Amino acid sequence: MIAHLPILQVIVPLIAAPLCLILRRAHLVWLFALFASGIAFLTSILLLQQVMDTGTIVYELGGWEAPWGIEYRIDKLNAFLLLIITMISTVVLMAAKKGIEKEISSEKHTLFYVLYLLSLTGMLGIVATGDAFNVFVFLEISSLSAYALIALGNDRRALWAAYQYLIMGTIGATFILIGIGMMYQMTGTLNMEDLSRRLPEISQTRTVFAAFAFVIVGICLKLALFPLHLWLPNAYSYAPSIVTAFFAATATKVAIYLLIRFTFSVFGLTFSFTTLPLQTLFIVLGLLGIFVASTTAIYQQNVKRLFAYSSIAQIGYMIVGFSISSVTGLTATLLHVFNHALMKSALFLALGAVMYRVGSVDLKHFHGLGRQMPLTMAAIVVGGLSLIGVPLTVGFVSKWYLLLALIEQGWWPVAVLVLLGSLLAIIYVWRIVEAAYFKPPLANTGDIKEAPLQYLIPIWILILANIYFGIDTRLTVSVAQAASQSLFGVGL
């Protein structure tokens, strides 16, 4: 069975989804979905171990050799991503039973788990595959289920957010489809490995240039890179809390992965960073994203929305690291992908707990929560500190590497701007702390109890991970560094 791990990674949640539909009873379905996601998590750990030991694993689907068939190609980069996605998915699912109790009407609970597993399948499929068109197919699985999951939110604005996301997402996917079509037309192949061998010969053609532009713009739409981020705040604010916690930690990460995969592995580093002024463009967009989104976050009254804007800012950091195009820079980006997944899933789950007890996540309803829900609020504080990048949290580790990479290149002004951006995070996190600990509770709120254990356990697992990986960085740094080195072709 060990030889089949790459495909099991994707088909376990895939097959579990229709089985959930047959099981029907929401309670059973929850346990089953948790089980399937847990198996996927174990699979990803085994895969990562195997990849770190023996190098890239290739799995030919249908027994057909690539490029005639589709292959799965697991290297250090996507093994790392698979681990992040399945880990977050499993921890978030632990809280799902309580989480959807009040936010989704009971007859839809089974369908919620089906869609959740399909979304997980889609993301895993995108990351695991080595075939450009297969990316498109699994991208659509994850997107369609995402639109539906967001639309399950109670507020009518969730419907509108889902619709906007559907339009933007489909435009993005169609752009990617056009780009893949052009690449295919010029090379005759869809296999990424094969593409990377054939593209350099024709890299000077205008068609390949256009293909590159369409793929990148399409991915940036999915990535919510500033200024293409407009769909994200609404989608994250009005989706059910569990869905937000899951997507905030994984969906944009998958897009970052695609960006890295297409620029580094398919088009190749020299092509990607010389044909377009990609480096300058992305640095500017990344920095603008950090500042505009962080500033907008400061003025939000809805805390879910506040953290949604903060997510856009965090994408900015990842993009800055990516566009340095050095081993350290990419390491910083990959570390931040992992670390940001830990922080944001913890924070949004904690907001889910607040939603569960208080029924709202408006800043004014946070007044006095520090005493009423001490454990949940403590989690939000630690998560916030991690977001700022305080030492002993994971946020510090990735910012540290980002600064190292910038200084390595001698880009002092950018380094200073990145630090200034972190100061903005202090302000928006402080507003929550101030409301929760320094304001008296509202008069008419009645008796608010601490969040139930089913929420607290997953939240604190993630928070402790935030601290643990902030202190013991061996595992994350070594994997991220190895992945980054292999993409640059050094240290092989």
Partner 1 sequence: MDAGNDWAAAFFGLYNYWIVVVLMMVGFYIVIAHGNLIKKIIGLTIFQTSVFIYYISMGNVDGGTAPILADNISQYSNPLPHVLILTAIVVGIATTALGLALAIRIKESYGTIEEEIIQGMDNPG
Partner 2 sequence: MDSLRFCNPKTIKEDNAIELLIDIVLLSFLVCIAFAIVRMKDLFAVIMLAGMYGLLSASFFVTMDAVDVAFTEASVGAGISTLLMLTTISMTGRYENTTRHRPMLALVVVFVTGSLLIYGTLDMPYFGSAQAPIQLHVAPHYINNSMSEIGIPNIVTSALASYRGFDTFGEVVVIFTAGVAVWALLMVNVQRRKNTEIDDANNSTHEQHFIVRFVAKMLIPFILLFALYVQFHGDYGPGGGFQAGVIFAAAIILYSMVFGLNTARRVISQPIVQLLTAAGVLLYGSVGIVSLLSGGNFLDYNVLSADPIAGQHLGILLIELGVGCTVASVMILIYFNFSGRKNDRELEEHKETT
Using CB under 8 A as the criterion, which residues of the chain lie in contact with partner 2 when the complex forms? Answer: 4, 7, 11, 14-15, 17-19, 21-22, 59-64, 67-70, 107-108, 111-112, 114-115, 118, 121, 125, 131, 133-134, 137-138, 140-141, 144-145, 147-148, 151-152, 178, 182, 184-190, 198, 202, 204-211, 213-214
Nearer to partner 2, 7 or 433 (CB): 7
User: Which member of 19, 35, 45, 181 binds partner 1 (CB under 8 A)?
Assistant: 181
Q: Is 452 in the site for partner 1 (CB under 8 A)?
A: no
Stretch that binds partner 1, among 23-31, 39-47, 120-128, 161-169 (CB under 8 A): 161-169
Stretch that binds partner 1, among 71-79, 130-138, 191-199, 346-354 (CB under 8 A): 130-138
Work out what residue 160 binds among partner 2, partner 1, none; the CB cut-off runs from 5 to 8 Å by kind: partner 1
Q: Is 279 in the site for partner 1 (CB under 8 A)?
A: no
Nearer to partner 2, 190 or 335 (CB): 190
Least CB distance to partner 2 at residue 33 (A)? 14
> What is the 3 state secondary structure string of the chain?
CHHHHHHHHHHHHHHHHHHHHHHCCHHHHHHHHHHHHHHHHHHHHHHHHHHHHHCCEEEEHHHCCCCCCCEEEECHHHHHHHHHHHHHHHHHHHHHHHHHHCCCCHHHHHHHHHHHHHHHHHHHHHHHECEHHHHHHHHHHHHHHHHHHHHCCCCHHHHHHHHHHHHHHHHHHHHHHHHHHHHHHHHCCCEHHHHHHHCHHHCCCHHHHHHHHHHHHHHHHHHCCCCCCCCHHHHHHHCCHHHHHHHHHHHHHHHHHHHHHHHHHHCCHHHHHHHCCHHHHHHHHHHHHHHHHHHHHHCCCEHHHHHHHHHHHHHHHHHHHHHHCCHHHHHHHHHHHHHHHHHHHHHHHHHHHHHHHHCCCEHHHHCCHHHHCHHHHHHHHHHHHHHHCCCCCHHHHHHHHHHHHHHHCCCHHHHHHHHHHHHHHHHHHHHHHHHHHHCCCCHHHCCCCCCCHHHHHHHHHHHHHHHHHHHCCHHHHHHHHHHHHHHHCCCC
Nearer to partner 2, 154 or 185 (CB): 185
Nearer to partner 1, 162 or 320 (CB): 162
Least CB distance to partner 1 at residue 193 (A)? 17
Q: Count the residues of the shown chain that bind partner 1, applying the rule CB under 8 A.
A: 25
Q: Is 170 in the site for partner 1 (CB under 8 A)?
A: yes
Q: Is 57 in the site for partner 1 (CB under 8 A)?
A: no
Q: Is 148 in the site for partner 1 (CB under 8 A)?
A: yes
Least CB distance to partner 1 at residue 188 (A)? 9
Least CB distance to partner 2 at residue 302 (A)? 24
Distance CA 284, CA 268 (A): 22
Which one-letter amino acid corresponds to residue 398? S
Work out what residue 7 binds among partner 2, partner 1, none; the CB cut-off runs from 5 to 8 Å by kind: partner 2
Work out what residue 61 binds among partner 1, partner 2, none; the CB cut-off runs from 5 to 8 Å by kind: partner 2
User: Which member of 133, 411, 468, 488 binds partner 1 (CB under 8 A)?
Assistant: 133
Nearer to partner 1, 171 or 404 (CB): 171
Q: Is 178 in the site for partner 1 (CB under 8 A)?
A: yes
Please, what sign has the CA dihedral across residues 208, 124, 82, 191?
A: negative
Q: Is 159 in the site for partner 1 (CB under 8 A)?
A: yes
User: Which member of 95, 117, 127, 177 binds partner 1 (CB under 8 A)?
Assistant: 177
Binding site for partner 1 (CB under 8 A): 133, 136-137, 140, 144, 147-148, 151, 156-157, 159-160, 162-163, 166-167, 170-171, 174, 177-178, 181, 184-185, 190
